[in-house]
Amino acid sequence: MSKDSSQSKTYFGGRWVTGPDNTYFFLTLVLTYAPHVPFFALVCPYFDDKMTAMVYVIPGYVLVASTVLLFLAAFTDPGIVPRGKPLTEDNPFALEQKAPLTRKHVVKGAELDTKWCDTCCVYRPLRTSHCGICNNCVENFDHHCPWVGNCIGRRNYRYFLFFIFLNSFECLYVMAICITHIIMNTNDSHKSGRGEQFKDGLHQSYYFSIILIVYAVAGLGFVGGLSGFHCFLVASGISTNEFIKKTFKNRKNPFTRGFFKNYIYALCPFGRPGFFRQSMTRPVEMEVFPPAAATSHTNTSIV
């Protein structure tokens, strides 16, 4: 495969788009499902006579929902920008017409630069970055997530957010049920006179409850910390990529809409069509071919 071509994999006629390596995606599925086997089989049955069936329904629903969200995040076009026609001798444009390196845009009074991508042969839209792993320019690029196996961008960021939020809740729920299981079963053992309160109570599913608590704490440290970090990013109206590059450290962020509107925009987006699939079936023509490099940039105002 050419180094200048997209590394993304497509399935079902381009309806599913994912990254070049999905190894960690399957590992994520295993890590998600593995603790639920002993939880449903050994811990939940203890509560059959003490609680309602919700002890099964809540984690079961969260597990199914998080699985669907994981697949949506992993196989949704993240917002890949279709490639333009490369500057070659086959083009009607001369090779000497080299694109200027940047263009300036004005957003809410703030000047922002957009770069010409030599690989994709397009000017990157605002807040777009090139992913070196997938070899694509991605709109609203947040990061490339190896655990999902895809870029996280404009079209799948909400699925990624809901996935880590649900998994954080699942870790807390499993932890709470397992702690309750240990306490209640220990009290039952003590009242029945079967020996010391805790020593003799460590039997059967107790071991699994302790292991699940440790597993949930470790999982919460990862997905819980990630959830908190992205809550901060959404509230601030910036992406992980912009946070790492400190894009708005010394100037105002013109893309923030305010606390509540930032969350609405991130979690409930409207009208976010994908263009990558269409670009697979027909050649992409440049709407505005870069002019001769008489200047280093052009000025564009964004309303």
Name the band, by pLDDT with cuts 50, 70 and 90, for residue 174: very high
Q: Mapped to the 3 state alphabet, what secondary structure does the chain carry?
A: CCCCCCCCEEECCCCEEECCCCHHHHHHHHHHHCCHHHHHHHHHHHHCCCCCCHHHHHHHHHHHHHHHHHHHHHHCCCCECCCCCCCCCCCCCCCCCCCCCEEEEEECCEEEEEEEECCCCEECCCCCEEECCCCEEECCCCEEECCCCEEECCCCHHHHHHHHHHHHHHHHHHHHHHHHHHHHHHHHHHHCCCCCCCCCCCCCHHHHHHHHHHHHHHHHHHHHHHHHHHHHHHHHCCCHHHHHHCCCCCCCCCCCCCHHHHHHHHHCCCCCCCCHHHHHHCCCCCCCCCCCCCCCCCEEEEC
pLDDT, one tens digit per residue, over 124-141 is: 889 999 999 999 999 999
Query: Which amino acids are annotated catalytic?
Result: 145
Q: Identify the pLDDT of residue 122.
A: 84
Domain residue spans in the chain? 9-302
CA dihedral defined by 254, 260, 261, 266, rounded to 10 degrees?
100
Tell me: pLDDT of 187 over 80: no
Name the band, by pLDDT with cuts 50, 70 and 90, for residue 303: very low
Query: Tokens representing 61?
Result: 């629903």
Whole-prediction pTM value? 0.83
pLDDT, one tens digit per residue, over 24-36 is: 999 999 999 999 9
Q: Identify the pLDDT of residue 288.
A: 42
Span 24-52, average pLDDT: 86
Span 43-49, average pLDDT: 80
Q: Identify the pLDDT of residue 301.
A: 34
